[in-house]
Amino acid sequence: MPIFQYRGYRTDGSEVAGTIEANSQKDAVLRLQESGLYPKKVRETVYHGKAGLFRRTDANFLPSVTRQLSTLLSSGVTLMEALSALADENSGFWKNLLVNIKEKVAAGASFSKALEECDHIFPEFYVNMVAAGETSGTLDKVLGRLADFLETQTSLKSKVQTSMIYPVFMICVGFIVLSFLFTFVIPKITKIFKDTESALPLLTVVLIAISDIFQHYWWLLIGLLLSGIFGFRRLKEKNRLLIDRMIVRLPGKIMQSLYFARFTRTLGFLLEGGLPVLRALELSGKSIGNTMLRNRVIEAAQRVAEGARLSASLEGFPPVLLQLISTGERSGQLVGILKNAADSYEEEFSRRVQQTLAFLEPAMILIMGFIVGLIVLAVLLPIFQLNQLIK
């Protein structure tokens, strides 16, 4: 059923706006009038298949709606009723999305097929798990496991984003402070040095040159910064494999812990959901976020298809992880072992992030102190030189 946005008035004259489901615009007007509203403008909202710039980045929608849908279905609510309730609870793009899915299901499509047409919102593994749940008649339980998995992944992603806040904030503050100094403070101090005919120390000359650049060529600095960002993105797109290989080899092995946590968590989750090993490997490889490791997982899937064991097929993975997988294959407890490995890697990632931040904080303070010290020294050196000349 189409959704219509409306604006109108209540009986007391106050304005009101919202959305309503109706078969047509005329039907929407009648429903509004029956509810005691006087519509001023009623128009149909069209689902475009993609969210807006900001809505598309809402990481909480999928875990939340999956959890609610699982709760509703396990309570005996039908799928159509559950989708209607979720659509009524949401607004804007998400309401249109849920109504669109409900209409496809009402038209005879399976729930997984309806989700498949919204692949920009529902990942491939999500659709596959829903399809397996529909086939086995355990959709509510599958959605519950999906909600658990998505909440864990969202929490891990949140840790990554939170760990980046402090260093990014410090870099931005440092850049703003130095820009203010070079643009407004230093020119006033060094103006007296420019009027002297004596030769200035090299450090002071460099300081004055940098100050002149910030004063007169600030637009060039902004252009260089934007060009650098754009150039790095292009370089990353063209040399993704090379850059991902370098990221894996970074000291501290922070990203390795994150990548292996994603792989083991996703693989264990998909195998628990009943997906075949080859399909689970393909989807878990995509979830890693690193091209080099994804290629290794794809190569491992090919070896497994030829009859090799999984633990013997994952080349380049940590020996401890391979030993755990081998133990799980022999004991038949692979899913449980993969979950334990994921927990271990996530704890290791959190610990290494904390250690890195504990080192980064004093390091950035020292760097800022060193730069400020150079500025002070560049200002004091010519003053000492002038004092010597006076004597």
pTM above 0.85, yes or no: no
SS3 state at 5: strand
| Phi and psi at residue 13, to the nearest 5° | 95, -5
Instruction: Give pLDDT tens digits for 91-134.
Output: 778 888 888 888 888 888 889 888 987 877 888 889 888 988 88
Instruction: Give pLDDT tens digits for 306-352.
Output: 989 999 998 889 899 999 999 999 998 999 999 999 999 989 988 88
Would the pLDDT of 213 be above 90?
no
Question: According to the model, what pLDDT value does residue 46 have?
Answer: 52
Fold of 59-151: Receptor-associated Protein (1.20.81)
Type of residue numbered 64: S
Contacts of 159 (CB under 8 A, 6+ apart): 349, 350, 353
Q: Edge to edge, what strands does the sheet with 15-21 contain?
A: 15-21, 3-9, 38-45
CA 119/CA 97 separation, integer angstroms: 12
Tokens of 213: 């650049």
| Phi and psi at residue 387, to the nearest 5° | -65, -40
Domain boundaries, the chain: 3-45, 59-151
CA 48/CA 136 separation, integer angstroms: 32
Type of residue numbered 367: I
Mean pLDDT score, 175-194: 81
Q: Are 20 and 41 in contact (CB under 8 A)?
A: no
CA 295/CA 323 separation, integer angstroms: 21
